[in-house]
């Protein structure tokens, strides 16, 4: 069983590719019930994007409240990140431990950047997007093989510089002061199509008189921004002219 979260498709693609290779089911966390029907002897995998050098809080919250039908025989996770994960693995290992689970292996894949709601953050160039996806695609068979043979104690990560500072100091600041949806707005290009409402994994957008309204429980996943067909959604002036990305977008636009 693979539980996953994804806003812009990178982690979904990783979860679905691994599910395919391993012959397992994959379940999108926002749609999953708290009762998890894990069979005896089954492994539990979790796939998610790195948010501010840590697992997304909604993923950790789900692990804390889920109830597994059977104890997993093997526990692993894969995180995707634009750049580096710092001590994401330590935070998630602790979340799992508190839920009574022992982490056996973890892996980290660089994928195209999605966060733009802060000055200085930008998408990768198209060449870099392609390079990261090709590299991850080449890595996935090896990761699947290690998971399949239930390799123990393999913690592959991309720590980067100053991981402690990023995960344990900057991450709480990010959640406390940066994450809010007050600055989201749709400009005059908005056609009222409602896609932003459908694409928000937290159901934080409601259409009112043909315009999106943000409801105050955002996690800055950027799904609404990237999926808007009119590129009408902006976060203050931070996202102006920065372009859009979601996994498979260029393929679909061809
Ligand atoms: C709120 C937010 C915070 C992020 N923080 C980080 C980070 O700390 N380090 C990093 O390398 N990438 C970071 N990213 C980039 C994503 O982890 C990366 O693009 C990921 O593959 C997106 O996955 P998804 O397409 O499944 O949503 C962040 C993205 C978002 C939306
Ligand atoms: S996805 Fe974009 S165009 Fe469609 S309703 Fe939302 S803001 Fe408007
Ligand atoms: S409203 Fe917030 S949580 Fe919903 S898609 Fe937009 S950024 Fe993500």
Do 147 and 191 reside in the same domain of the chain?
Answer: no
**What is the DSSP code string of 9-76?**
SHHHHHHHHHHHHHT--EEEGGG--SEE-PPTT-EEEEEEE-SSSS--HHHHHHHHH-EESS--SEEE
Residue 214 lies in a domain: yes
Residue 173 lies in a domain: no
Do 163 and 189 reside in the same domain of the chain?
Answer: no
In whole angstroms, what is the distance from residue 176 CA to residue 8 CA? Answer: 23
- Domain-ending residue, one of 167, 199, 219: 167
pLDDT at 57 over 80: yes
Q: What average pLDDT does the segment 48-62 reach? A: 98
Average pLDDT, the chain: 96
Render pLDDT for 107-159 as a digit per residue (tens, 0 to 9): 999 999 999 999 999 999 999 999 999 999 999 999 999 999 999 999 999 99
Do 157 and 183 reside in the same domain of the chain?
Answer: no
What pLDDT does residue 250 have? 66
Spatial contact of 248 and 228, defined as CB atoms under 8 Å apart = no
Residue 172 lies in a domain: no
In whole angstroms, what is the distance from residue 158 CA to residue 161 CA? Answer: 10
Do 112 and 229 reside in the same domain of the chain?
Answer: no
Ligand 1: centre distance to CA 113 (Å):
6
Q: Which residues line ligand 1 (CB under 6 A)?
A: 6-12, 49-53, 80-84, 111-115, 220-222, 247
Confidence label for 252 from pLDDT (cuts 50, 70 and 90): very low
Ligand 3: centre distance to CA 181 (Å):
8
249: containing domain: 178-253
What pLDDT does residue 249 have? 83
- The CATH code of the domain that includes 157 is 3.40.50.360
Token couple for 44: 């539990």
- Domain-ending residue, one of 167, 187, 221: 167
- Residue with CA nearest ligand 3 atom 8: 221
The secondary structure of 61-124, three-state, reads HHHHHCEECCCCCEEEEEEEECCCCCCHHHHHHHHHHHCCCCCCEEEEEECCCCCCCCCCCCCC
Ligand nearest to the CA of 201: 3
Render pLDDT for 72-98 as a digit per residue (tens, 0 to 9): 999 999 999 999 999 999 999 999 999
- Residue with CA nearest ligand 3 atom 4: 200
Phi/psi for 99 (5° steps) reads: -90, 10
Do 145 and 83 reside in the same domain of the chain?
Answer: yes
Q: Count how many domains the chain has.
A: 2
- Domain-ending residue, one of 139, 167, 195: 167
Render pLDDT for 220-232 as a digit per residue (tens, 0 to 9): 999 999 999 999 9
Phi/psi for 13 (5° steps) reads: -60, -45
**Nearby residues of 178 by Cβ (< 8 Å), 6 or more positions away:** 117, 118, 220
Residue 236 lies in a domain: yes
Do 218 and 248 reside in the same domain of the chain?
Answer: yes
Do 127 and 222 reside in the same domain of the chain?
Answer: no
Beta-strand relationship, 105-110 and 26-28: unpaired
Q: Which residues line ligand 3 (CB under 6 A)?
A: 7, 181, 200, 202, 204-205, 214, 218-224
Do 42 and 8 reside in the same domain of the chain?
Answer: yes
Do 209 and 142 reside in the same domain of the chain?
Answer: no
Do 89 and 186 reside in the same domain of the chain?
Answer: no
């Amino acid at each position: 069983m693979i539980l996953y979260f994804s806003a812009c498709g990178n982690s979904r693609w990783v979860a679905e590719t691994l599910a395919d290779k391993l012959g397992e089911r994959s379940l999108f966390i926002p749609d999953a019930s708290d009762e998890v029907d894990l069979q005896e002897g089954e492994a539990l995998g979790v796939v998610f994007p790195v948010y501010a050098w840590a697992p997304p809080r909604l993923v950790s919250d789900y692990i804390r409240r889920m109830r597994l039908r059977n104890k997993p025989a093997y526990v692993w996770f894969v995180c995707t990140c634009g750049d580096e994960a710092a001590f994401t693995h330590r935070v998630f290992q602790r979340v799992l431990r508190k839920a009574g689970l022992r982490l056996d292996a973890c892996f980290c894949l660089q994928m195209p950047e999605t966060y733009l709601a802060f000055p200085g953050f930008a998408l990768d160039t198209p060449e870099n997007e392609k390079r990261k996806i090709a590299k991850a695609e080449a890595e996935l068979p090896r990761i699947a093989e290690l998971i399949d043979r239930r390799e123990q104690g393999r913690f592959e990560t991309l720590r980067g510089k100053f991981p402690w500072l990023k995960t344990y100091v900057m991450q709480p600041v990010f959640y406390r002061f940066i994450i809010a949806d007050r600055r989201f707005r749709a400009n005059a290009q908005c056609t009222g199509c409602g896609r932003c409402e459908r694409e928000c994994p937290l159901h934080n957008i409601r259409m009112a008189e043909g315009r999106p309204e943000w409801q105050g429980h955002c996690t800055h996943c950027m799904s609404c921004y990237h999926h808007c067909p009119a590129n009408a959604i902006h976060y203050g002036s931070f996202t102006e002219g920065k372009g859009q990305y979601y996994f498979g977008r260029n393929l679909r636009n061809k």
